[in-house]
Amino acid sequence: MPSNPLKLTLCGISLQNPVIAASGTFGFGHEYAEILDVSRLGGISGKGLTLNGSAGNKGMRVYETPSGMLNSIGLENPGVRHFVTHEADYMRALGPAVIANLGGHCEEDYLEGAHLLNDADIDILELNISCPNVKAGGMAFGMLPETAADITQKVKAVSRHPVMVKLSPNAPDLVAVARACESAGADALSLVNTFLGMAIDVKQKCAVFENVYAGLSGPAILPIALRMVHQVAHAVTIPVVGMGGITSAEDALKFLMAGAVAVQVGTMTFADPKAMLRIIDGLSDYCAQEGLDNLQQIVGIL
């Protein structure tokens, strides 16, 4: 039997393909498992968790923009303990690599959360220091190299799982943050989280979101996300997982060529729940057409 040209290893974990459901866009897998064959995915990153859970933000939470959307969910989630006891095993049974996305409001939250996740059968801990939608903490940790390195190093010291740090495109010097996380021991990096944006209701003369600013995702951000992935992949030696507006196999290939070993798909799943399956099929076709033994051969060719 010919070997699977899409397979790869990420943080020592074997993935059947490089297409991962992005955090916050796939729940813990239940909902989409009713609609599509989720076992075909490379991985699933679960909804961003916080230590004690959260009801999320008030008011409008999702708002469409040209070829994209703004969200202000505010990390509504059931908390790390609930995940460990109720969701982790379910996610494991689905088949794809299991990634737990951990957010926090302060250092203690992150460390206690990482500690509790040691009891869960997950493959990778995705350290979310880039959520723009929570008032305290969240993105703050990801804005500067010093704070990003500090939290990365501390979580690494606590966690038994590989740690992939999810970076914010809103950092003034993203490459410096990426390098700092690498030096602090990160096993991988994922980027980008959403761009801080804004919407105004002109009729009502008010901001659409109660938090005023919200996170922009979808095809509209692709060119900027791609540039950032390219810059970061050239600056570090650890694996980079790229995302931001991917809608097709062609888009995924752009991120791989820019240096990402795998991709995540978020917003497009909302528009077309089967988008990731199309992308996986498209990547297989590409390998056949190009005569590639393994798709990883095109990673970082640019």
Partner 1 sequence: MAEIIKNEPIANGIYRMSVFGAPLGRAGQFFMLRVPGALDPLLGRPISICEIDADKGETTFVYQPIGRGTAQFAALLPGQQIEAQGPYGNGFPLKGGRTVLIGGGIGTAPMLQLAKELRKSDPARKIDVFLGFREEAYLEKEFESYADNVTRNIGGYVTNDVDFALDATYYACGPSVMLRAAAKAADEANASLFVSLEKHMACGVGACLGCTCQTEHGRKRVCKDGPVFDYREVRDAI
Active-site annotation, residues: 131
Tell the smallest beta-carbon distance from residue 242 to ligand FMN (Å).
10
Q: Which of residues 94 and 216 has its CB atom nearest to ligand FMN in the complex?
A: 216
Side chain identity at 51, as an amino acid letter?
L
- Beta bridge partners of residue 127, listed in sequence order: 102, 165
- Cα 255 to Cα 264: distance, rounded to the nearest angstrom: 10
| The only residue of 71, 168, 170, 211 in contact with ligand FMN, by rule CB under 6 A | 71
265 binds ligand FMN (CB under 6 A): yes
Tell the smallest beta-carbon distance from residue 3 to ligand FMN (Å).
29
Q: For residue 76, what are the contacts with CB-CB under 8 A and spacing of at least 6?
A: 54, 55, 56, 57
Q: Cα–chain-centroid distance for residue 160? A: 20
Going by the DSSP 8-state scheme, the letter that residue 133 receives in this structure is T
Stretch that binds ligand FMN, among 104-112, 146-154, 213-221, 280-288 (CB under 6 A): 213-221
24 binds partner 1 (CB under 8 A): yes
- Cα 8 to Cα 249: distance, rounded to the nearest angstrom: 17
Placement of tokens 């790869």 in the chain: 8
Residue 272 binds which entry of ligand FMN, partner 1, none, CB below 5-8 Å type-dependent: partner 1
Placement of tokens 């989409």 in the chain: 32
- C-alpha angle 42-43-46 in degrees, rounded to nearest 5: 160
Residues 63-122 that bind partner 1 (CB under 8 A): 63-64, 66-69, 71, 73, 76
Q: Which of residues 35 and 301 has its CB atom nearest to partner 1 in the complex?
A: 35
Residues 217-236 that bind ligand FMN (CB under 6 A): 217-218, 221
Whether the upstream peptide bond of residue 192 has omega within 30° of 0, thus cis, is yes
193 binds ligand FMN (CB under 6 A): yes
Q: Which of residues 25 and 168 has its CB atom nearest to partner 1 in the complex?
A: 25
Contact 227, 191 (CB under 8 A): no
| The only residue of 105, 156, 166, 179 in contact with ligand FMN, by rule CB under 6 A | 166
Residue 101 binds which entry of partner 1, ligand FMN, none, CB below 5-8 Å type-dependent: ligand FMN
- Cα 289 to Cα 268: distance, rounded to the nearest angstrom: 25
219 binds partner 1 (CB under 8 A): yes
- Cα 95 to Cα 29: distance, rounded to the nearest angstrom: 11
CB atoms inside a 10 Å sphere around CB 12: 9
Residues 30-49 that bind ligand FMN (CB under 6 A): 47-48
Stretch that binds ligand FMN, among 3-11, 19-27, 106-114, 154-162 (CB under 6 A): 19-27
- Cα 165 to Cα 90: distance, rounded to the nearest angstrom: 24
- Cα 198 to Cα 170: distance, rounded to the nearest angstrom: 14
Footprint on this chain of partner 1 (rule: CB under 8 A):
24-27, 30-32, 34-35, 47, 55-56, 60-64, 66-69, 71, 73, 76, 218-219, 247, 267, 269-273
Footprint on this chain of ligand FMN (rule: CB under 6 A):
22-25, 47-48, 71, 73, 75, 101, 128, 131, 166, 193-194, 217-218, 221, 243-246, 265-268
